[in-house]
Amino acid sequence: MKVAKRWLILGHRWLGIGAGLLVALWIGSGLVMLHVPFPRLSQAERLARLPPIAWDRVAIAPDAALAAAGRPEPAALGLEMQGGEPVYRVTGPDGSRATVSARTGERRPALTPEEARALAGSGTVEPVARDQWTVTARYDPLRPFHKVALADAAGTEVYVSAPTGEVALVTTRFERGWNWVGAVVHWVYPTPLRARPDLWRDVVLWLSGLAIPLLASGLVLGIWRLGWPRRYRNGALTPYRGLARWHHLSGLAGGLALTGFLVSGWLSMNPNRWFTGPAPPAALVAAQAGPWHPVGLDPAGLRRVAAPDAVALRFTTLGGRPLVVSLMREGRRVMGADGGPGPDEAQIVAAAMRAMGQAAPPTVERLTAHDAHWSGLGERPLPMLRLRFADPAATWLHVDPRDGTIAERLDRSSRAYRWLFDGLHRLDFFVLAGPARELAQWALNLLGAVVVLSGLVARWRRVSRKLSG
């Protein structure tokens, strides 16, 4: 036991010098991220930038636009304005993008810097293939960009896709500045590393994996050295003094929560692919939509079925049935010009059963309030349908009843991941909402900061004494 204890002490001490600094950086950057998330243009923000569709300029039908794009069976099709011109946005099954003018029926060429400036607003234009804020693969179909730096007080920069003309991202000086000490540090996100997803994933797994033994050994030592039930000679619970005393007692109080943060952060990288993600697979989405059906509407017919204030239309199918969805500036989706109901529940369930290859109907639950598995974090929309299937993976589908879109697919492993990451790392527990969750995160992180910083300073003093002696 003495030998084991000695090696545990030495391991904790030397791991704490390097890994302790990493943990301190993760705590500080995580607190920044509570208030300044990584820049991302949400669907609602993107729609808010669009003017209503200028129907007097729409002269081309959707099916003709698909023919011009060379994608008769697209993965996605939409109509919106690009500056003063209505355009069709076409996404192929392989993820490739094309833009077709709804006025002339011609495929739009790549955007020039002058056109990008006209779309974004006056400012300087810089070509960007990939930078710190567009580093992830989700931007690959839109590269390269024209980055337009607006001459405003907020230091706004607008990224316009050169191939498609879409506004892909908007950042401000405030967001960029705080993210250098927030998400970039917390996610280990320097551009040269993050641009190589496999390498980045391995680096984060190893860094967080090395920090876990530091905290685990500290918990074991903290309990081992605790004066309970037999107190030390002066009646204290700890044999240490000064910073070491703070480190021991704060570690006992907050070490478990800090270990939970580290372990859940490590699990967020899905080591060994233990978990399936909540994003519905493309094959499931395609099977639920069914075969593409021609829209079959001319411009006058489109105007009749569109909501009066629509800033975009989305053309889709559900079980092979064509649907036209109007998107409003605030992010709201409506079916038909009068905002009437979308597909009924029976149609949604039938399409989901075909997509899942299940003969037995699922249990259907209509969510009108957020719960443990459809939480309020991220402003998830309501109402939502939850379809529970009796397949071997016990799959749940969260389906938007307005248009039948699969918002999320959960099986046993992804529901476990929800608690192991969202629960432990983000404190996404149903009993913690709003200010209570934020207060709990600050309290636990500050307690963790006391644990880590007291240990770092104590170790630095010990090393300094040895070097000077």
The two beta strands, 333-335 and 97-101, are unpaired
Reply yes or no on whether the pLDDT at 340 is more than 70. Answer: no
Q: Which two tokens stand for residue 262?
A: 């580290």
pLDDT tens-digit map of 232-282? 877 788 888 888 888 888 888 888 888 999 999 999 999 999 999 999 999
Query: Cβ contacts of residue 57 below 8 Å, gap of 6+?
Result: 84, 85, 86, 102, 103
Listed in order, strand segments (DSSP E) in 102-166 are: 123-128, 145-150, 157-161
In this prediction, residue 31 carries a pLDDT of 96
In percent, how much of the chain has pLDDT > 90?
Answer: 66
pLDDT value at 314 more than 80: yes
Instruction: Give 339's pLDDT tier (boundaries 50, 70, 90).
Output: low
Q: Is pLDDT of 229 > 80? A: no
Percentage of the chain beyond pLDDT 70 is 99
**Cα–Cα dist 322/21, whole Å:** 56
Beta-strand relationship, 363-367 and 384-388: antiparallel
Q: Is the pLDDT of residue 421 over 60?
A: yes
pLDDT, residue 213, reads: 84
pLDDT class of 464 with cuts at 50, 70, 90:
confident
- The kind and range of the H/E element at 223 are helix 197-224
pTM of this structure: 0.90
Instruction: State mean pLDDT over 387-412.
Output: 95
pLDDT of residue 379: 74
Q: Which residues contact 22 (CB under 8 A, 6 or more apart)?
A: 207, 210, 211
Q: Would you state the pLDDT for residue 341?
A: 66
- 49 SS3 class: coil
In the chain, the amino acid numbered 300 is A
Q: Are 398 and 406 in contact (CB under 8 A)?
A: yes
Top pLDDT among 335 and 170 is at 170
Close Cβ partners of 442 (under 8 Å, ≥ 6 residues apart): 31, 34
Q: How far apart are CA 262 and CA 425, in angstroms?
A: 8
Q: How confident is the model at residue 219 (pLDDT cuts 50, 70, 90)?
A: confident
Average pLDDT, the chain: 91
Each residue of 77-136: pLDDT tens digit? Answer: 999 999 999 999 999 988 899 999 999 999 999 999 999 999 998 899 999 999 999 999
Token pair 């192991």 is found at 420
Does the pLDDT of residue 439 top 80, yes or no? Answer: yes
pLDDT category of residue 181 using cuts at 50, 70 and 90? very high
Residue 469's pLDDT is 65
**pLDDT value, residue 137:** 94
Taking the domains of the chain in order of start, what are their residue ranges? 2-36+191-275+435-463, 43-175, 282-410
Q: Which amino acid is at 332?
A: R
Among residues 141, 162, 36, the alpha carbon closest in space to that of 92 is found at 141
CB neighbour list of residue 380: distance below 8 Å, 6 or more residues apart: 370, 374, 407
Q: What is the mean pLDDT of residues 395-419?
A: 94
- What is the enclosing helix (H) or strand (E) of 255? helix 242-267
Please answer whether residues 72 and 65 qualify as being in contact, where contact means their C-beta atoms are separated by less than 8 angstroms. no
Residue 174 has pLDDT above 80, yes or no: yes
The per-residue pLDDT for range 278-304, each reduced to its tens digit, is 999 999 999 999 999 899 999 999 999
Please give the backbone phi and psi of residue 357, each rounded to the nearest 5 degrees, phi first: 70, 35
- Pick the residue with more confidence: 245 or 227? 245
Return all residues near 420 (Cβ < 8 A) that are at least 6 apart.
Answer: 263, 264, 267
- Banded model confidence at residue 412, pLDDT cuts 50, 70, 90: very high
pLDDT at 57: 97
Two tokens at 397? 């589908």
Closest alpha carbon to 370 in 356, 362, 380: 380
Answer positive or negative: Cα dihedral of 385, 387, 388, 393: negative
Place of tokens 């619970």: 237
Residue 178: left if φ>0, alpha if ψ -120 to 50, beta else—which one? alpha
